[in-house]
Amino acid sequence: MKIKELIAKCTNYLENAAYTKNRIDKYKGYWRCGIIPFMELMALEDYTPDVGEAFMETCNYNGEVRHQEREMMRSVSILNDILSGGEIKLRNFTPVVHPLTGSVGKEIEKFLLYMKSIRRSAITIKDHRMYLSRFNSFLDKEGIASVQDIEEHHIIKFRNGYKLRTCIGSLHVFMKYLYENHVIQKDFEYVLKGVSVRRKERIPSYYSKEEVVKIETSVNVSSAVGKRNYAVLLLATRLGLRASDISELKFENIHWKENVIRLTQFKTGKPIELPLLADVGNAILDYLKNGRRKSDSHNVFLSERAPYRPMSRSSINNAVSCLVKGSGVDTRHRHHGPHSMRHSLACCLLEDGTSYPVISESLGHASTEVTMNYLRIDLNSLMKCALDVPPVSDDFYMQKGGAFYV
């Protein structure tokens, strides 16, 4: 395509995708000062990805790629995207690939298909693939070509190298599957059954009522991003929503006339209904009216930069984390994401004497057993369980001629 025609097409796309005029003008400047003079010097009129690649190789300043050079390269990437697919691709992350190779890899693939057939969640299957990929790689290094060649010492060596509880759990399920389906003749249950990787007890990170209020009042809501992040924060602090549920929150989940939020939780698949508190509703409305960019997306919260797409779980986490750290509240030895706000809400409810079934329902826990984890932060109730230590008589210390006397 002629370079000027392609630039016109890119400009039209950027305008329709609600990019700011300032950003569009910057890209025009990069094209005008970058790829256009490069092609004129090469006596080329038609742009191809090869031309763009040749230009990007020149994008450096004395061998160093600075911010300006990265932006110049980004402008060429936009040309390639529009030329090849008609839209700009997201470049937020590169998916991690967990390869499964050889005969062992094929057996793992069969196992994963079996997991899917018995309705295991996509997250569980993804975790199994990640951990068993490590086992697959380990066996390759050990020179093991098939699962029939696996011996006890291989299991023990891998187990000792990967002490992560979930990793050993995936291996346990996989080896059990192989034995029960007669793929291998030896049952390694005795090697793996008694394995328990000890985890240190962790007290959930939480913040006091005063700290949460300080975090909320510290948010600057004068900007569009501030309005968005404030609404996100209140959904975490006042309703205890997880980052996954905030990122997936859609307009149809908010029932304004009934003053409730109804959604199906991403983690548990359990439907939940929460009250649309006045402060939360007002914050969302302020963002929708005065902060949210134009978009056809049904998701409430969008990214701050064009193209405006739904916020991801990681961006929700980052937004809340930045607000907490910027509030001046001491975060040492404590997490400071949406989940810590969820723990804080649970702590607040416990302090107010709310029953565990009510807390469980409010937080959308799969069972009250999950809610019982918060017993560790219910210090007031724990103090009530403390027993007085009975006094010890002098006769005890003086027995055997005072052998126990201190």
What is the domain range of residue 292? 209-382
Residue 222 shares a structural domain with residue 178: no
Partners of 264 in the β-ladder: 271
Q: Is the peptide bond before 310 cis (omega within 30 degrees of 0)?
A: no
Query: pLDDT grade, residue 28 (50/70/90)?
Result: very high
pLDDT surpasses 70 at 35: yes
**SS3 at position 293:** coil
pLDDT in tens, 9-27: 999 998 888 788 888 999 9
What confidence tens digit (pLDDT) does each residue in 49-67 have?
A: 999 999 998 888 777 888 8
> Do residues 336 and 271 share a domain?
yes
Task: For residue 68, count other CB atoms closer than 10 A to its CB.
Answer: 13
Q: Residue 245 carries which side chain, given as an amino acid letter?
A: D
Average pLDDT over residues 110-127: 91
Number of domains in the chain: 3
Same structural domain, 313 and 218: yes
Q: What's the whole-number average pLDDT of the chain?
A: 85
Digit-coded pLDDT (tens) for 315-332: 999 999 999 999 999 998
Here the tokens at position 161 are 């190298």
Q: pLDDT tens digits, residue range 338-395?
A: 989 988 888 888 777 766 666 676 677 666 565 556 555 555 655 565 666 777 777 7
pLDDT band at residue 197 using 50, 70 and 90 as cut-offs: very low
Chain centroid to CA 341? 15
CATH at residue 150: 1.10.150.130
Among 34, 56, 85, the domain boundary falls at 85
118 domain residue, yes or no: yes
Residue-wise pLDDT for 73-107, tens only, equals 999 999 999 998 888 876 655 567 788 999 999 99
Amino acid at 93: F
Over residues 286-292, the mean pLDDT reads 94
pLDDT at residue 100, as a whole number: 93
- The answer to whether residue 260 scores a pLDDT higher than 60 is yes
pLDDT value for 380: 61
Q: What percent of the chain has pLDDT above 70?
A: 84
Residues 47 and 145 in one domain: no
Last residue of a domain, one of 85, 111, 129: 85
395 inside domain: no
